[in-house]
Amino acid sequence: MSTTDERGASRAHRPDDSLARLRREGRIVIVGASLAGLRGAETLREEGFAGSLTIIGDEPDRPYDRPPLSKQVLVGGAAADRTTLPRRRAIRAHWRLRTAATGLDLTARRVRLDDGDEVPYDRLLITTGARSRPWPQPAEAELDGVFVLRTNRDAERLGRRLMAGPRRVLVIGAGFTGSEIASACRELGLPVTVVERGPTPLVGALGGVVGQVAAELQREHGVDLRCSVMVTALEGDAAGRLRRAHLSDGTALDVDLAVVALGAVRNTEWLDGSGLGAGPRGVACDAGCRAFDVRGLVTDDVFVAGDVARSPHPLFGYQFLSLDHWGNAVAQAEVAAHNMISPGPDRRPHLWVPAFWSSQFGVNIKSIGVPSMGEEILIAQGSLAEHSFAGVYGCQGRVVAAVTFDQTKWLDFYQQQIETAAPFPPPFRSVDRRPDGLHPVPAEFPDPSLPSHGPTVTLCGYSPTERRIVFTPARA
Amino acid sequence: MRLVVDLNRCQGYAQCVFLAPDVFSLNGEEALRYTPYVDDARREQVAAAMAACPVQAILMDDVVDDMMDDPLPAAFDVHH
Amino acid sequence: MTYGTYLRKITDPANRADPYPLYAELRKTPVLRDEGGPYLVSTYWEIHGLLHDPRLSSDPRNLDPDAAAALAVTEEADDPTLPPSFLRLDPPEHDRLRRIATYPFGPPHTPRRIHDMRGELARIVTDLIDDFEGRDRVDLVDDFAYPFPVTVICRLLGVPRADEPLFHAWADTMLTSLDPAAAEADVAQRRRAVRQARVELGMYLSELIEDRRRAPAEDMLSSLIHGDGPDGRMSHAELVSTAVLLLIAGHETTVNLIANGMLTLLRHQDVLKRLHDDSRLAVPLVEEVLRYEPPVQLLPHRTPLTDIDIAGVTIPKGAAIWLVLASGNRDPKRFPDPDRFDPDRKDNQHLGFGSGIHICYGAPLARLEGQIALAELARRLENPRLLEDPPPYRHNAVLRGPRHLPVGFDGVRPAREP
């Protein structure tokens, strides 16, 4: 509440007053109409923001949930256009859907849109997320029968083709999305071949020890899994339909449907030339979700959240983490929204411990922390052979991550171990310790300089205290 | 109604499956599946599942919340 | 039994009607070494942490022998005739037995079993309340809260309802082993009695299992005997142990849930009125009863496999740990205004059913029974009121609930048309 009196003009220059005005009648624009954008908008309203709220998104639909798209939607358990996210509260937003942001003017505080319009803002929240990495040969990517899976439209098209009963499905890349698609295909009884350039599925995210279990799951469920192999070309027939895939081992596969699951590309091109610290790895921001500009200076009116953000995490040596995680999108959007309309001392750091889940071949896979930082892994509970275990990752003598296969109920404990930087290997007995768990073994992550399919966490490693923030202004 | 489960929080207790088996199911021992869009007839089932969830991971809403948004141009008719 | 100051207070019948001030005092020391007795853990986050801590064992064989001798809780471990049930086992044995036991009971294999019992549960409740007609007072425990879950568990398992007097006596005796005060009197004699009751109940169920082996029926015992999943079948001894556990747990705890729930409602007439007007309130209300007056007040059977540090205290390997669930449920650091009964409470992640891998197996059935029972009592009883407050309580401090709950009313409204 504020009153206008004869001193109102001078008061307006005090930060409290300008913040109060922002909260009362400011303009907040959110670019990116998915999970992070929606939860950010809800948090703004929840915390009393009464001004105008504009949400811009290039897809035609209200924010929808993506994880079901590679799971129940593909097996017919849910309709692709029916995963719209529920609201926590009414947000009274002005939606500009089917509209892509094409540029940002930091000085004039305006977002440019592809319809030529410009939208002014007092505070901006960037939640543009990521998109599927396309097949690198554009002509081959155009073939009928070549798919990616990211949006609900992708899922609808792919689902329809799967229901039509292809002779064989080729999944290119055995990260989480690729593995889940393969699992859905097997559930539908479809023959499926998975080609992965790394030594095992999930190797980038969980390392080779756990990846080996993922490989066993695939093979036991009838997947034709081919690791350490690449697809070199996709071949079409005269009508432009996919008919064959050529592999780096010299073999060829007759397939009429291929799903390219080579990870994600962050949607930052629209920020090229804006002066914001944005590049292929995302938009860099501080722990309070405020974006950095290219000079490495923090802005105070542009905030970032979700898959597109890269932020330093104090638990992991202030390394900049980019997380394509559902939970991160929610938590980071909440922090960003809170900080957008709060005075400095009330702002919060984004301290979310990375966590994700995947379900494939009837197994619930969950992880907490940053497995790819792990040098070694100890199977603390259960057994790799039974595909039911809890594994702990260690780096330089402390616990940095954990993974469970069908052992979720223990994960809270390992989260607490990560948060308190507990010693690794764990110097204690626990229930269900098997011969597997007597000694830590190398976690077998691939050389990070080699690309692999779909690591879910990208370590970029520049600490603000080192003043070595370097941004790649445009895509290589 | 629209439905989402925070599967980071979900620990596979499956209380929701017991109480609302038309909406939730287990795929294997602990991986939860659910129908993200359910009709009104299932409302009480889902409400029971939400209340029983030991980690309070289930969120449901009424589409009417959208009515509070600024009106969309006709081209943006939402498809439910 | 060595006996700590606080344990003595918790088990003192004088504190049974309202143990909550005592718990509030306990929470000043989240992990309390009760002189000579177990470690008592009374705050929400510490209890929650320990329920998910793989360094903690539920297997009494991991108790330090001195702690075990002092506690008189080893009735399963020192029973030569029956193996321990999954309640007293750690993974992987716990997981295997619980998975097999879940096979005919719930998801992923039998997801609809409990849901499909709704109609049957409602009919049993209707019949029991119909019997109130023409009376102006009942004992809600003997006339309702006890017979309802007993009938249900008998039908579900396939135990003849007529044998109830038989197994009820054995169950009562066995449950005194959970009762710290009872153990004080004459440990050796008490143990003999408990073991004897367990053996007799085991033999009774063993014969029943043999019957079902020859002539399968549509009940859980038959499914457990004949079912075959990825984990195989239970041995005969494992079957008997599991059946003992399910039969006792299935009828001794829900009684308290319903009786505690009705007692709380009669003390909060505004909520009772709301429930009368809208039976859907029963859903969140039962969760709040489970927080506010949990049927299982504390879990007495945990021990660390290694020294563990918690809340500034080191609990040594092999020590007995008691998790005071009912105290965690009233922890103001977790629940705002915790001593207020509020069925509209948000984010009610109570500890009423425990948490982690040992979370109450029968929770979905207990919930449904509680919801249907409380909603129907609220709907059909005219002007119900407590005739005795506080009511007389059972002796047992662990499974806490009224022994009798005399309730007066002006009449009984008709049942719903089926």
The minimal CB distance from A86 to the residues B2, B27, B28 is found for: B2
The CATH class given to the A8-131+265-346 domain equals alpha beta
Interface of B with C (CB under 8 A): 13-15, 17-21, 25-29, 44, 47-48, 51-52, 54-56
* CATH code of the domain made up of A355-461: 3.30.390.30
Q: Does A79 score more than 60 pLDDT? A: yes
pLDDT tens for A458-472 read: 555 443 333 233 333
Cβ-Cβ contacts under 8 Å, C306 against chain A: 428-429
Treating both helix axes as pointing N-terminal to C-terminal, what angle do C164-175 and C147-157 enclose, rounded to 10 degrees?
110
User: Hey, is the C-beta of A408 within 8 angstroms of any chain B C-beta?
Assistant: yes
Q: Does A238 score more than 50 pLDDT? A: yes
Q: In the prediction, which pLDDT does C250 show?
A: 85
Cβ-Cβ contacts under 8 Å, C111 against chain B: 17-18, 21, 25-26
Q: In the prediction, which pLDDT does A415 show?
A: 93
CB A17 within 8 A of CB A11: yes
**Is C382 in a helix, a strand, or coil?**
strand
Q: In the prediction, which pLDDT does C192 show?
A: 84
Q: In the prediction, which pLDDT does B78 show?
A: 39
CB C313 within 8 A of CB C39: yes
User: Hey, is the C-beta of C351 within 8 angstroms of any chain A C-beta?
Assistant: no
In chain C, what percentage of residues exceed pLDDT 70?
94
Residues 6+ apart with CB under 8 A from C283: B44, B47, B48, B51, B52, C371
Q: In the prediction, which pLDDT does A11 show?
A: 45
Q: Could you tell me the two tokens for A449?
A: 């300089």
Domain residue extents for chain A = 8-131+265-346, 133-263, 355-461
Q: Does C417 score more than 80 pLDDT? A: no
Cβ-Cβ contacts under 8 Å, A428 against chain C: 55, 305-306, 308
Cis bond upstream, residue C80 (ω within 30): no
Q: Does B9 score more than 70 pLDDT? A: yes
Q: Does C50 score more than 80 pLDDT? A: yes
Helix (H) or strand (E) holding C199: helix C187-214
Helix (H) or strand (E) holding C26: helix C20-26
User: Hey, is the C-beta of A416 within 8 angstroms of any chain C C-beta?
Assistant: yes
Q: Calculate the CA dihedral of residues A313, A317, A322, A328 and round it to 10 degrees.
A: -30
Cβ count within 10 A of residue A132:
19
CA distances from C394 to A443, C165, C176 (A): 55, 18, 11
Q: In the prediction, which pLDDT does B71 show?
A: 55
The pLDDT-based confidence of A55 (bands split at 50, 70, 90) is very high
Cβ-defined contact of C306 to A428 (cutoff 8 Å): yes
Cβ-defined contact of C91 to A429 (cutoff 8 Å): no
Q: Does A8 score more than 60 pLDDT? A: no
Q: In the prediction, which pLDDT does A112 show?
A: 98
Q: In the prediction, which pLDDT does A453 show?
A: 46
**Averaged over C76-80, what is the pLDDT?**
57
Q: For residue A86, how far is the Cα from the chain centroid?
A: 20
A100 φ, ψ (degrees, to nearest 5): -95, 140
User: Hey, is the C-beta of C50 within 8 angstroms of any chain A C-beta?
Assistant: no
ipTM of the complex: 0.94
Cβ-Cβ contacts under 8 Å, A62 against chain B: 66, 78
* CATH code of the domain made up of A133-263: 3.50.50.60
Superfamily for domain range C5-407: Cytochrome P450 (1.10.630.10)
**Averaged over A332-351, what is the pLDDT?**
94
In chain A, what percentage of residues exceed pLDDT 90?
83
Q: In the prediction, which pLDDT does C11 show?
A: 86
The minimal CB distance from A97 to the residues B6, B7, B76 is found for: B76
User: Hey, is the C-beta of B73 within 8 angstroms of any chain A C-beta?
Assistant: no
Q: Does A474 score more than 80 pLDDT? A: no
Q: Does A318 score more than 70 pLDDT? A: yes
The chain-wide mean pLDDT, for chain C, equals: 92
- Residue ranges of domains in chain B, CATH in brackets: 2-63 (3.30.70.20)
Pairing of strands A309-313, A319-323: antiparallel
Q: Which of the other chains make 3 or more beta carbon contacts under 8 angstroms with chain A?
A: B, C
Q: Does C184 score more than 60 pLDDT? A: no
Cβ-Cβ contacts under 8 Å, C371 against chain B: 48
Cβ-Cβ contacts under 8 Å, C283 against chain B: 44, 47-48, 51-52
What residue of B is the nearest CA neighbor of C284? B51
Q: Does A51 score more than 80 pLDDT? A: yes
Q: Does B12 score more than 60 pLDDT? A: yes
| Cα–Cα dist C83/C78, whole Å | 9
**Averaged over C390-409, what is the pLDDT?**
95
The minimal CB distance from C108 to the residues B19, B28, B55 is found for: B28
Residue A73 C-alpha, separation from nearest chain B C-alpha, in angstroms: 9
pTM: 0.93
**Averaged over A355-360, what is the pLDDT?**
96
CA distances from A228 to A183, A442, A446, A452 (A): 20, 19, 12, 10
Cβ-Cβ contacts under 8 Å, A356 against chain B: 8
Q: Does C66 score more than 90 pLDDT? A: no
Q: In the prediction, which pLDDT does A202 show?
A: 97
What residue of A is the nearest CA neighbor of C91? A432
C202 or A317, which is more confident: C202
**Averaged over C300-328, what is the pLDDT?**
95
**Averaged over A378-396, what is the pLDDT?**
96
pLDDT tens for A244-256 read: 999 999 999 999 9
Residue A394 C-alpha, separation from nearest chain B C-alpha, in angstroms: 22
Q: Does A333 score more than 70 pLDDT? A: yes
Q: Does C180 score more than 80 pLDDT? A: no
**Averaged over A338-342, what is the pLDDT?**
97
Cβ-Cβ contacts under 8 Å, C364 against chain B: 15, 18-19, 52
Domain residue extents for chain C = 5-407
A256 or C8, which is more confident: A256
Q: Does A322 score more than 90 pLDDT? A: no
Q: Does C13 score more than 70 pLDDT? A: yes
Q: Does C73 score more than 50 pLDDT? A: no
Q: In the prediction, which pLDDT does C408 show?
A: 98
Q: Does C367 score more than 50 pLDDT? A: yes
Q: Could you tell me the two tokens for A36?
A: 């992070």
| Cα–Cα dist A103/C418, whole Å | 65
**Averaged over A150-176, what is the pLDDT?**
96
The pLDDT-based confidence of C6 (bands split at 50, 70, 90) is confident
In chain C, what percentage of residues exceed pLDDT 90?
79
Cβ-defined contact of A86 to B12 (cutoff 8 Å): no
Helix (H) or strand (E) holding C245: helix C236-267
